[in-house]
Amino acid sequence: MSTRKETAGEDPIIESRSQLISLFQDGEKPADRWKIGTEHEKFVYRLADHRAPSYDEPGGIRDLLDGLRKFGWEPVEEGGKVIALSGSDGTISLEPAGQLELSGAPLDNLHQTCAETGRHLEQVKAVGDKLGLGFLGLGMWPDKTRAELPIMPKGRYGIMLQHMPRVGSMGLDMMLRTCTIQVNLDYSSEARMVKMFRTSLALQPLATALFANSPFTEGKPNGYLSYRSHIWSDTDPHRTGMLPFVFEDGFGYERYADYALDVPMYFVFRDGKYIDAAGQSFRDFLDGKLPALPGERPTIGDWEDHLSTAFPEVRMKSFLEMRGADGGPWNRICALPALWVGLLYDDGALDAAWDLVKDWTMEERETLRTEVPRLALGAPVPGGRTLQDIAADVLAIARAGLTARARLNSIGENEGGYLSALDEVVATGRTHAERLLDRYNGAWAGDISKVYGEESF
């Protein structure tokens, strides 16, 4: 989740609706300036006993952040505590229970993305070795109850933790027990954004299936392949889901702004502190009638904060975020942006991908989204087929899109190689989650602790 920083200079007050829309318009860039921003989270645990460390304990999360500063990262504080780090490779931040996230810098190509990922993991492992900490690549804690997990000292999390149980049964699980991989991508115009949004939203369940990696809860199989994805089905219906309006005629910046305005607020950030506005209306805020700040009107920074509190399968800020994938092993971190860059950044690939899904009804899309957490590539798609039946086509389109981009590394290879981590999944129809279940029921003999030895970075 986003880490708020105090900004220098005046944050403009929103005087008109056009300023809401301008945030999306200002994201438009010509194709030769499109970037790739990759985010990935991992669980931090004690090597000695697999316990999740707290922020303040010796050798805990605070010391991990402090140790990373030797690599040139600069601290970001809230309430006198370091809660993030900023540097040339982006931002290192904390999820609510201490999951460690790298929000990578905007980069030109996937070779740079994978190099950035490698640097980050080498750094955290070097510090972790000294502190007795390990890092686990899964979509959900395989063995922890909510009560066993610490809470990080970030004001927005305190507000969200109080609010989540009011609106869904699994919001606390989302905050405390999950990890994801995401990629942020640019668009050149409103029309291009619309086509990218529709295509990626329709295919987001395929990404969930390909990256399914959360089959355990509290030490036992949970009946799902991506329980992380299932958690989103009862987190908060006002800010999650497949957004049917995206596929309706007339969708664009204004319609997304209307959706975001109807998402209930969580907070307002003032003078370095988060003010609880949970459940209140940003529309009232625009009129100076927000109960949490009576008489005040929102700034552009408030609007940016608010946009970060909507959690649909694809999210728009001044770029598009692909949000469907579980956290996973090192090579999956590079594969996720490779999939979406290949599908969305080349004109021919985007056309081909949209052709695959453009005739699906909203009911069919919703059914697919509902079935994927349990069935993964076995989930049904229109025409009496399954996701596995179209996965090979989608992967071929993505690979062709990456070939057409022709971004070569030092030995003349294009970006298509980063998709290789998905080839066996597509060929066999068996996800990483299913392979974990095989080991749990076989070589591990039901001992979930074995996952730490085999799935750590």
Do residues 436 and 216 touch, judged by C-beta distance below 8 A?
A: yes
Do residues 102 and 87 touch, judged by C-beta distance below 8 A?
A: no
Residue with tokens 């990373």: 68
What would the pLDDT profile of 111-135 be if each residue is shown by its tens digit? Answer: 999 999 999 999 999 999 999 999 9
Confidence label for 2 from pLDDT (cuts 50, 70 and 90) = low
What would the pLDDT profile of 345-383 be if each residue is shown by its tens digit? Answer: 999 999 999 999 999 999 999 999 999 999 999 999 999
Residue 453 CB contacts under 8 Å (≥ 6 apart), including other chains = none
Average pLDDT over residues 61-77: 98
User: Is a pLDDT exceeding 50 seen at residue 8?
Assistant: no
Closest CA to 237 of 140, 168, 164: 168
**Cα(446)–Cα(444) distance, rounded to whole angstroms?**
5
Chain-centre distance for alpha carbon 265: 20
Average pLDDT over residues 64-88: 98
**Cα(382)–Cα(296) distance, rounded to whole angstroms?**
49
What would the pLDDT profile of 147-160 be if each residue is shown by its tens digit? Answer: 999 999 999 999 99
Average pLDDT over residues 296-308: 98
What would the pLDDT profile of 375-417 be if each residue is shown by its tens digit? Answer: 999 999 999 999 999 999 999 999 999 999 999 999 999 999 9
**Cα(193)–Cα(356) distance, rounded to whole angstroms?**
18
Residue 250 CB contacts under 8 Å (≥ 6 apart), including other chains = none
Residue 196 CB contacts under 8 Å (≥ 6 apart), including other chains = 185, 187, 320, 344, 350
Which uninterrupted H or E stretch holds 46?
strand 36-46
Confidence label for 426 from pLDDT (cuts 50, 70 and 90) = very high
Do residues 71 and 123 touch, judged by C-beta distance below 8 A?
A: yes
pLDDT for the residue numbered 90 = 98
User: Is a pLDDT exceeding 90 seen at residue 7?
Assistant: no
Do residues 225 and 215 touch, judged by C-beta distance below 8 A?
A: yes
| 3-state SS, residue 70 | helix
What is the percent of the chain where pLDDT is above 90?
A: 98
Token output for 152: 């990080």
- Prediction pTM value: 0.97
pLDDT for the residue numbered 10 = 79
- E strand intervals along 251-343: 267-270, 273-276, 311-312, 314-316, 320-326
Sequence-ordered alpha helix ranges (H) in 345-409: 347-357, 362-375, 387-405
pLDDT for the residue numbered 1 = 54
Average pLDDT over residues 332-342: 98
Which uninterrupted H or E stretch holds 36?
strand 36-46
Confidence label for 9 from pLDDT (cuts 50, 70 and 90) = low
Domains and CATH numbers, the chain: 17-263+310-455 (3.30.590.20)
Confidence label for 35 from pLDDT (cuts 50, 70 and 90) = very high
**Cα(295)–Cα(289) distance, rounded to whole angstroms?**
6
Do residues 182 and 315 touch, judged by C-beta distance below 8 A?
A: no
β-pair partners for 442 = none
What is the percent of the chain where pLDDT is above 70?
A: 98
Number of residues assigned to the chain: 457
Chain-centre distance for alpha carbon 354: 22
Do residues 313 and 325 touch, judged by C-beta distance below 8 A?
A: no
User: Is a pLDDT exceeding 90 seen at residue 4?
Assistant: no
pLDDT for the residue numbered 422 = 98
| 3-state SS, residue 41 | strand
Helix, strand, coil percentages (3-state) for the chain, rounded to 5, are 45, 20, 35
Q: Exposure string (b/e) for 347-386, b if CB count within 10 Å is 16 or more?
A: eebbebbbebbeebeeebbebbbbbbbbbbbbbbbeeeeb
pLDDT for the residue numbered 6 = 53
**Cα(230)–Cα(241) distance, rounded to whole angstroms?**
11
Residue 224 CB contacts under 8 Å (≥ 6 apart), including other chains = 214, 215, 230, 373, 374
User: Is a pLDDT exceeding 80 seen at residue 257?
Assistant: yes
What is the rounded average pLDDT for all residues in the chain?
97
- E strand intervals along 222-351: 240-241, 267-270, 273-276, 311-312, 314-316, 320-326
| 3-state SS, residue 205 | helix
CA dihedral (446, 447, 450, 452) positive or negative: positive
